[in-house]
Amino acid sequence: MKRLADLLRRIPRVLLFTVAALIQVALIAAMVYDRMRILREGTEVKLATRPVDPRDFLRGDYVVLSYDISSMPAAT
């Protein structure tokens, strides 16, 4: 443990901050790249929607979308 502390004391702080910043930028870039890849290479899915309960006295006008795919028929 003491060796690690001595090693960290010898490394300039600017270098440590630079490495930390590069790691953070790399993580953000990886997340952005992942989303861009999904948008570029993903498959478009079109679902039929129908509004459910479009008016509420206390909250005003809003729409909750219900999809046919989100509910399964009961087994008989």
Contact 65, 47 (CB under 8 A): no
Domain boundaries, the chain: 2-70
Q: Residue-wise pLDDT tens for the chain (76 aa)?
A: 678 888 778 888 888 899 999 999 999 999 999 999 999 998 888 877 666 655 666 666 666 667 777 777 777 6
Res 13: pLDDT: 84
Res 28: pLDDT: 98
- Which residues, in sequence order, are bridge partners of residue 38? none
Single pTM value for the model: 0.51
